[in-house]
Amino acid sequence: MKLALFDLDNTLLAGDSDYEWGQFLVDRGVLAREAYEAQNRAYYEQYAAGTLDIHEYLGFALRPLAEHAPEDLARWHAAFMASRIRPMITPRARDLVRGHIAAGDLCAIVTATNSFVTAPIAREFGVPHLIATEPEKAGGRFTGRVAGTPCFREGKIRRVDEWLAGLGRPLASFAESTFYSDSHNDLPLLARVTRPVAVDPDAQLADEAGRRGWPVISLRRQAS
């Protein structure tokens, strides 16, 4: 059996689900535009630059989950999927995932974005396993805090290793392990698999992929 791991934002999606969720809530009037929008953009730019403090960011990003009832969050997310997420899924992204599933590979989405936002997206792709940052819950509601290790940078390695240990299948046991990502933030996990693939990569990852001879593909353009 082979292992196929997929980053989500700007890899399988032609956009960032975490950023778009915040903007969606602003546009719906759930969050105050003046207080939220500029900070959301600033954190996104820090992520792109590789300077993001993940714990500081999660304190910001998870707060709206704690401030609203689960039924309201679920209703908003259904509208978010229809208006923001499905338009960001390209046919080539769907075909890539379907090909790995059809081949019988063990497939998982591995994302720093929290599981409330991303679980329905994983289901949309038909990917059976999701390794994401987990928002803490208590009494049936989100607390605004993170549970366990954020699935970010080196944390992705730890979370993947924990998941595979639970299956009794360490990474080294797979004949081939592939990880698809767009971001230099994912270099730690890309360096761990046998087949790292840069997907519509940022400048830093494109440079590193060129230096190491990693394949580079596009799920957006017609030509790879």
Task: List the catalytic residues.
Answer: 7, 9
One-letter amino acid identity for 67? E
Instruction: List, in order, residues 6 or more apart from 138 with CB less than 8 Å away.
Output: none
Q: Give the Cα separation of 114 and 77 in Å (integer).
A: 13
Instruction: List, in order, residues 6 or more apart from 107 with CB less than 8 Å away.
Output: 4, 5, 6, 97, 100, 101, 127, 128, 129
DSSP 49-84: HT---HHHHHHHHSHHHHTS-HHHHHHHHHHHIIII
Measured in whole angstroms, how far is the alpha carbon of residue 124 from the centre of its chain? Answer: 14
